[in-house]
Structure 1
Amino acid sequence: MATVDDARARGTRLDRWFGWVDTLAYLGLLNLLILAGTLTGGVVLGLAPALSAAATCSRTRLRGDAQRTVRAFVRAWSAGFGRANLVAAPALAVLVLTGTSLAALDGGPVVLRAALAVVGGLAVVHLLLVLTMDAHYDLPRGAVPRLAWSFLLRFPGAPLLLAATTALVGVVTAFVPGLLPVVSIGAWVHLCTALCLSFYAANDRNLEHHPADPDPLDE
């Protein structure tokens, strides 16, 4: 005969499974929205607004606030189209240049290709910081790329974690390529948004306890 504790245990397991299914469904939907937003903007102009809108939606979800994901994404994409492209332009330009250089150097010196890969990785991290910082803080548009770079240099552990997360998602996707159009991109953006928000929260707490310290997010 089932006891109250058994019923509670089953309820806890069901809640846990429901939470996992709900999260997976959200990541799949976010993945689809990122792809749709990128294509809608003609890829070149659609990528930054799509990633920015996805970071905004993930930030809302991570804070526990209710939202209609599709509506929130479309609103953030359309409202932030120009701003997202402008703040992401430096990082995207470096990514294009490094990608072109790596393609041109196919079979070239290993050291040079490794250096270009590192530069490209830093550009990806800077792009993540720029978009999440712009979603999280009310900052002047022109200051966002500079402050993201300052944050990257002041807290080297942050870019390492973001790079490791990006590499992990990349490796898993390389083993299971079918995940790319289904969940990989959404999971990558959501995980990196969660990491960035934790970095910013730690920085804010540090400022509360040490107000005299310089703040990379302070004008």
Structure 2
Amino acid sequence: MKAQTFVNRVYNLLSILYICAKLNILFLLGTLLGGIIFGLGPSLIASHELAKDYYQGKGNQTIAKFVRVYRQEFKRANSIFLPFELIVVLLLLDIRFINDLNWTQYSIVNNLFLSISILLMSYFTLIAPIYIFYEVDTKRYHRTLIQFAIRNLAPLLLAIIWIGFCVVVSFSLPGLIPFYSFGTWIFVNQGIYLQTFERNERLINGSD
């Protein structure tokens, strides 16, 4: 019995490593295919959709589904992601400008940019999971996301810690980036929020 349990655990671990590697490759290919700027949004949506399928036991035909979701959601995903990408670019330009002025020696400036970076990271972790779980009108999408974040601080904090951990490990071991960094982050990130979404749905249905 113990040997069988051990084998099952090894099999499950290898399965997770396999799906993370597949998610990583598909995400990178999809992002590059869209010229990075226009590929990031649909690629992130499609890869989170595949991670959701895995958790729900529907992980068949992953490549075909990735391509289908990527194409179907290309326009809408970009309408949601492009404003976020613009804000990130402006933040990076501001950081470079502040650095050239040597203002980074002031702690208040560092704390300000650190706070903005954390807010953007938290926002980034939520965009794709909410997109594929809920039917939200594009015009109300960002407002809905903010409302959800305020009401669900625990999973949001966990997701921020997880993406921060992935960033640190990836910079420490850059060899992981082409094979596992993005896929592992997507897989766990989707798991964190999927559990929260399903719990909230059960609570709503129970109250009815």
Question: What's the TM-score once normalised by structure 1's chain length?
Answer: 0.86
Greater relative contact order (CA < 8 Å, ≥ 6 in sequence): 2
Amino acid at match of 2:142: P
Q: Is 1:123 equivalent to 2:116 in the alignment?
A: no
Q: CA deviation at 1:112?
A: 1.6
Q: CA deviation at 1:193?
A: 0.8
Q: Is 1:77 equivalent to 2:70 in the alignment?
A: yes
Amino acid at match of 2:55: L
Q: Is 1:9 equivalent to 2:6 in the alignment?
A: no
> What is residue 196 of structure 2 aligned with on the other side?
199
Q: What do you get for the CA RMSD once the two structures are aligned? A: 1.7
> What is residue 62 of structure 1 aligned with on the other side?
55
Query: Would the aligned equivalents of 1:54 and 1:73 in 2 still touch at CA under 8 Å?
Result: yes
Q: Is 1:142 equivalent to 2:153 in the alignment?
A: no
| Distance in 2 separating the partners of 1:41 and 1:110 | 38
> What is residue 49 of structure 1 aligned with on the other side?
42
Indicate how the Cα distance of structure 1 residues 66 and 32 shifts in structure 2: closer, same or farther if over 3 A, else same: closer
> What is residue 5 of structure 1 aligned with on the other side?
none
Unmatched 5+ stretches in structure 1? 1-7, 212-219
Amino acid at match of 1:89: L
Q: Is 1:187 equivalent to 2:187 in the alignment?
A: no
Indicate how the Cα distance of structure 1 residues 153 and 90 shifts in structure 2: closer, same or farther if over 3 A, else same: farther
Indicate how the Cα distance of structure 1 residues 176 and 208 shifts in structure 2: closer, same or farther if over 3 A, else same: same
| Distance in 2 separating the partners of 1:142 and 1:131 | 16
Deviations 1:103-150 (Å, cap 9, x if unpaired)? 222242332233123212212222321211110112222222210011
Unmatched 5+ stretches in structure 2? none
Q: Percent identity?
A: 24
Q: Is 1:103 equivalent to 2:133 in the alignment?
A: no
Match of 2:22 among 25, 29, 39: 29
Amino acid at match of 2:7: L
Q: CA deviation at 1:169?
A: 0.9
> What is residue 158 of structure 2 aligned with on the other side?
161
| Distance in 2 separating the partners of 1:14 and 1:209 | 38
Query: Would the aligned equivalents of 1:52 and 1:77 in 2 still touch at CA under 8 Å?
Result: yes
Q: CA deviation at 1:51?
A: 0.7
Q: CA deviation at 1:90?
A: 3.3
Q: CA deviation at 1:197?
A: 1.0
Question: What's the TM-score once normalised by structure 2's chain length?
Answer: 0.90
| Distance in 1 separating the partners of 2:88 and 2:114 | 10
| Distance in 2 separating the partners of 1:200 and 1:68 | 25
Query: Would the aligned equivalents of 2:24 and 2:181 in 1 still touch at CA under 8 Å?
Result: yes
| Distance in 2 separating the partners of 1:147 and 1:94 | 19
Say which is worse superposed, 162-171 or 112-121, in terms of deviation.
112-121
Amino acid at match of 1:125: S
Q: CA deviation at 1:206?
A: 3.0
Deviations 1:29-88 (Å, cap 9, x if unpaired)? 111111100100001111111111111110111111132111111111111111111122
**Stretches (4+) displaced over 3 A:** 208-211
User: How many matched pairs?
Assistant: 204
Query: Would the aligned equivalents of 2:50 and 2:59 in 1 still touch at CA under 8 Å?
Result: no
Match of 2:84 among 81, 84, 91: 91
